[in-house]
Amino acid sequence: MNVHNELTKILPQNEIPDTNFELDEIDPITKLDLEVKKIAIERQKELEHLKNVDSYRKEYLGNVSHELKTPVFNIQGYVSTLIDGGLNDPTINLDYLKRADKSIERIIHIIDDLETITQLETGSLELEFEKYDFSAQCRDVLEQLDMIARRKNVTISLSKKFDKPLMVQADKFRIRQVLVNLITNSIKYGKEGGKTDINFSLYNDDVIVEVKDNGIGISAEHLPRLFERFYRVDKGRSREQGGTGLGLAIVKHIIEAHQKTISVKSSQGEGTIFTFTLNRV
């Protein structure tokens, strides 16, 4: 900036003082000082980031081993009892083997989920976009989950609008995972004899999908952390239902990998609504 030029804009010619210097010529020491300060701030930020990554890694490992411990200890218990003579006891031998098998299934489920999450977080999971009928997919998922819903006496209903085809552009397999998790949650955390309604509306190029239940609901303090991996509102109840708290973290990653959004509204004792968007074609 030339000071003389600037002053001519605001002062009469005869009042302009002699200004034979440029304002942006800061002396080299001040310049150096500024540079050093800038570098220091950047280093500080980097350090904070590394600290966060480290504490996240520790927490993650802690969570993983904690989740795996229960089924592994269960298996150990059943196998030990069988070795200690239970094998010859027809009242327990098959039963204990079946229970051990269930625990193994649980471990496999946890590992599968962890693998999916890692792939989604490192970006190594490539979505396979295709054009398909979302209505047909919803009907299909409902049919698959019908047995689980019946066991809890929960009625799942699709809006009439799903009778007609609704074409979307998305990764069919991953969106199926989203639907399965949201609907399974609505059954698991629903009331005995409860209801889950699935509906959609159209807005510009988006399909806005809503999964609404009249279950136990989630109190406001839990909502901000709900999509974090391993986060469960009622750990006891979730584990009893075979939950790890990875489902919603996976769901959110999948939707965000589609450049779309998901949100939740809930009130305790009344029910929960999950809303996500998809690209319509």
Ligand X SMILES: Nc1ncnc2c1ncn2[C@@H]1O[C@H](COP(=O)(O)OP(=O)(O)OP(=O)(O)O)[C@@H](O)[C@H]1O
CB of 225 to Mg ion, least distance (A): 15
Binding-site residue total for ligand X (CB under 6 A)? 24
39-58 residues in contact with ligand X (CB under 6 A) are none
Q: Rule CB under 6 A: is residue 245 a binding residue for ligand X?
A: yes
Q: Which two tokens stand for residue 202?
A: 């159209």
Q: How many CB atoms lie within 10 A of CB 249?
A: 22
| CB-CB contact of 211 with 196 (8 Å) | yes
- 94: burial class by Cβ within 10 Å (0-12, 13-18, 19+)? exposed
Q: What is the C-alpha R_g of the chain?
A: 29
User: By three-state DSSP, how is residue 278 classified?
Assistant: strand
Residues of this chain that bind Mg ion (CB under 5 A): 181, 185, 247
| CB-CB contact of 218 with 191 (8 Å) | no
Contacts of 256 (CB under 8 A, 6+ apart): 262
Binding-site string for ligand X from residue 201 to residue 220, where x marks contact by CB under 6 A and - marks none: ------------x-xxxx--
Q: Rule CB under 6 A: is residue 234 a binding residue for ligand X?
A: yes
Q: Rule CB under 6 A: is residue 247 a binding residue for ligand X?
A: yes
Q: Rule CB under 6 A: is residue 186 a binding residue for ligand X?
A: yes
Instruction: Give the nearest residue (CB) to ligand X.
Output: 247
| Stretch in the footprint of ligand X (CB under 6 A) among 12-20, 22-30, 143-151, 231-239 | 231-239
User: By three-state DSSP, how is residue 164 classified?
Assistant: coil
Residue carrying structure tokens 């081993």: 65
Q: Which of 145, 246, 255, 278 binds ligand X (CB under 6 A)?
A: 246
Binding-site string for ligand X from residue 126 to residue 165, where x marks contact by CB under 6 A and - marks none: ----------------------------------------
**Which residue, 135 or 238, has its beta carbon nearer to ligand X?**
238
Contacts of 99 (CB under 8 A, 6+ apart): 74, 78
CB of 278 to ligand X, least distance (A): 19
Q: How many CB atoms lie within 10 A of CB 175?
A: 25
Q: Rule CB under 6 A: is residue 276 a binding residue for ligand X?
A: no
Q: Rule CB under 6 A: is residue 125 a binding residue for ligand X?
A: no
**How far apart are the C-alpha atoms of 245 and 257, rounded to whole Å?**
20
**Residues in contact with ligand X by the rule CB under 6 A:** 113, 181, 185-186, 189, 213, 215-218, 226, 231-234, 238, 243-249, 272
